[in-house]
Amino acid sequence: MAVKNLNEPSLIPDPVIPDPGPDEILGPGHDYTSVTDRIAGVVYLPWKQTPKKWFVGAFIAFCFVNILALAVCYLFLKGVGIWGINIPVAWGFAIINFVWWIGIGHAGTLISAILFLLKQDWRTSVNRFSEAMTLFAVACAGMFPILHLGRPWLGYWLIPYPNSMWLWPQPRSPLEWDVFAVSTYGLTSLIFWYIGLIPDLATMRDTAPKLWQQKIYATFALGWRGSAIHWHRYQKAYLLLAGLATPLVLSVHTIVSFDFAVSQLPGWHTTIFPPYFVAGAVYSGFAMVLTLMIPLRAWYNMRDLVTMRHIEAACKLMLGVGLIVAYGYGLEAFFAWYSGDKYESYMYWNRVTGPYGWTYALLILCNILIPQALWSHKVRTNIVLVWMISIVINIGMWLERFVIVVTSLHRDFLPSSWGMYTPTKWDWATYAGTIGFFMLLIFLFVRALPSISIFEVREAVHHGKKHGEHELESATV
C-alpha cells in the first residue's frame, strides 16, 4: 500500500530547520504531503538514524523502571513500613506523588479539550503528545494509592462488585469518589486519545514502509477510510468528548482535593481547595508539557511544527494559572488569620516557620517568584530559560503537595500527637521509579505513534492556504 518510499535518509531534515517565530503555528512551505512525511517519518526512522539521545534517554528511563520494580517487590514483601510513613503522617510520599502525577495529567486534557472548545488553533501540534502525557501520568498516579493500601493485592475491593461477604464500599467517603474519578479520568482520556488517533493510524497504515508495520497500524485503524460521512460523525463525537472532558478534568482534581478538604484537619479543611487544586494541576501540567516538548522538538528537528508560538502560549497560560495558585496561597494565609481559629493560625505559622519551613520558602520561590520572569517577552522566547523555569515549576508543584500533606499532618491539634516525617530511600526509589516509567512510556510513544496529530496539522495547512489566498486577493484588489 505504501505509495511513496518514506524510508529515505532525509526523514530528519538537515540542516536544522529554523523556528518560524512567535507568530506562526507552522513553518513555511508545508503541504499535506510534507507534514505527513515529517510527522510519520519520525516513527519510521530506522534504528541506525534514531537520535543517540533517544537511546541514552530510554536506557536511563529503563534503569529507573527496574528500580521501581525492585521497590515495589520489596514493598510487597515487607509492607508499607519500609516507607517513612507513620502516625501522624500516614500519607507521605504516596499521596504527594499521586496528587503530583494526576495534576500533571490535567494539562493534556486542558490542551486537547478546553483549547479545542475555545478554538485555539495552536493546540493542534501539541495535543496528541499532551494527551499521551496525560495517560502515562494517570498510570503513574494510579499506582500510588494502590501501593499505599497496605495489601495492594486486594485493591479490587475498592470497586463495588457482588462478593461473598456482601460487603460494599462506602460511597460517603471522598476516597471512594476518588476511585471513580481517577478511573473515569483514565478511561475517558484513553478513549479521547484513541479516537483522535484513528485517522492517523490509517495514514500510518498507508505509508508504513514495512508490511508488519502496515498490519499493526491497519489493525488499530479499524478500516478507517476518511469518508465524508464518517468524518461528520467523528467530529461530532470529538466535540462531545471535548465537552465532556472539560468538566471531567475539573471534577477529577476537585474530588482529589475533597480527599483533603472533607477532613477536619487544619490546613486541609478549607473551601479554597477545589479551585486551587485545579489551578495547581494545570500549572504543573503545562510545565511538564514544556519540559518534554522542548527537547523533543530539538531532537527530531520539529521546530517548524512546534514553534515559538506554542511555547509562548504555554508560557502565558502558565503565568496565568500560576497567579491563581499564588492567590490560593494568599487565601490560605488569609483564612488562617481571619477565621480566628487557633489551630488554623498555628498550622499556618508552623508551615512558614516550623521544622518544614524551608519547604514552604522553596515552594514560594519555585511557584511564585521565579515564574514571574515569564512576564518578559525575552524570557518567553528564550528556549533554555523556558525549559529551566518549567522544571522549577515541576519541583515547586511537588513541594506544594509535600507542604499540604506533611506540614498539615505532622502537627494537628494535640501537641502530644505531633511527630516528624522523613522519607526513606524506598520512598525516593518509588518516586524516581515512576518518573522513569513515565519517561520510558514517552520514549516508546514517540517511536511508535505519530506524536503530532497529522490530520489536524493538515487542517492547519489548509487554513493557512486559504488565509494566504485571501491575503493575495485583498492585495490585488
Chain residues that interact with another protein, rule: CB under 8 A: 1-3, 31-33, 36, 160, 166-172, 174, 176-177, 180-181, 184, 187-188, 191-192, 194-195, 199, 202-203, 205-207, 222-237, 240-241, 244-245, 247-248, 251, 255, 258, 455-456, 458-459, 462
DSSP assignment of 299-353 equals: HTT-TTTS-HHHHHHHHHHHHHHHHHHHHHHHHHHHHHHHT--HHHHHHHHHHHH
Structure-block grid coordinates of residue 360: 514552604
Closer by beta carbon to another protein, 57 or else 243: 243
Q: Compute the least distance from the CB of residue 273 to another protein, in Å.
A: 14
Q: Compute the least distance from the CB of residue 34 to another protein, in Å.
A: 9
Q: Compute the least distance from the CB of residue 236 to another protein, in Å.
A: 4
Q: Compute the least distance from the CB of residue 446 to another protein, in Å.
A: 21
Closer by beta carbon to another protein, 77 or else 167: 167
Closer by beta carbon to another protein, 227 or else 422: 227
Helical H segments across 110-173, by residue range: 115-117, 124-147
Q: Compute the least distance from the CB of residue 426 to another protein, in Å.
A: 32
265-285 b/e (C-beta count within 10 Å ≥ 16 → b): bbbbbbebbbbbbbbbbbbbb
Q: Compute the least distance from the CB of residue 442 to another protein, in Å.
A: 24
Closer by beta carbon to another protein, 229 or else 475: 229
d(CA 112, CA 107): 8
Closer by beta carbon to another protein, 218 or else 336: 218
Closest CA to 415 of 84, 79, 88: 88
7-21 b/e (C-beta count within 10 Å ≥ 16 → b): eeeebbeeeeeebbe
Q: Count the Cβ atoms, other than its own, within 10 Å of residue 288.
A: 28
Closer by beta carbon to another protein, 176 or else 341: 176
Locate cell 488562617: which residue?
Answer: 336
